[in-house]
A = this chain, B = another copy of it.
């Protein structure tokens, strides 16, 4: 029924218009129901392909594990990510042994970026995770596993303070990995997280290889 449009009941349209508006409302309800059905079917397709992709991502992770410095190199070669790494962070990133992105089962509700580290001089954690989720009110939020810095090694203390500019500009200009990691001001437009999830994670090989593309033999095309 048309309770979604209570204003339909309160208007002084002529009877014929009133009837038409109610019929339009009922068409809208049919369309809306189909929209919801479409979203559900698309979600199912995405879930199915996430499952189908998973063994390939798992196999890729195994192989990547055998390539020295794969993730630090790919990350540091990425045109939008390399400037993120401060000098101390770049050294810290040499201990990054694995990176992955987990989409939640109910894909719509969020994802998680995991950074796996070998034992290192900087912190006790073996995994640092930044997570994006829809909060209880449907509001996007992000959170990060707190970093247990070793004494005197807290890289957020040695780097310049977090830039306070807002939005995309803030994020692209933000010059420290750990400042980004700890920043939860505007999770709906976390450009760096999106680049990691949709680009770096998707095809890191191209970034691992990228320097030689530029230096490579100058075959003209």
B67 and A209 form a contact (CB under 8 A): no
A60 is contacted by which of B24, B57, B63 (Cβ under 8 Å)?
B24
A34 is contacted by which of B25, B56, B59, B205 (Cβ under 8 Å)?
B56
B64 and A24 form a contact (CB under 8 A): yes
Q: Residue-by-residue, is A1-24 near B (CB-CB < 8 Å gives 1, otherwise 0)?
A: 000010110110000110011011
Tell me how far the C-beta of A77 lies from the nearest C-beta in chain B, rounded to whole angstroms: 12
Q: Does A139 contact B (CB under 8 A)?
A: no
Q: Does A66 contact B (CB under 8 A)?
A: yes
Q: Residue-by-residue, is A80-114 near B (CB-CB < 8 Å gives 1, otherwise 0)?
A: 00000000000000000000000000000000000
Q: Does A42 contact B (CB under 8 A)?
A: yes
Instruction: Please choose the segment from A46-54, A156-164, A165-173, A174-182 that sits at the chain B interface, where 4 or more of its residues have CB less than 8 A away.
Output: A46-54
Contacts A/B (CB < 8 Å), 28 sampled: A5-B205, A5-B206, A5-B209, A7-B216, A8-B209, A10-B217, A11-B209, A17-B67, A20-B67, A21-B205, A21-B209, A23-B63, A24-B63, A24-B67, A27-B60, A27-B63, A30-B56, A31-B56, A31-B60, A34-B53, A35-B53, A37-B49, A38-B46, A38-B49, A41-B45, A41-B49, A42-B42, A45-B45
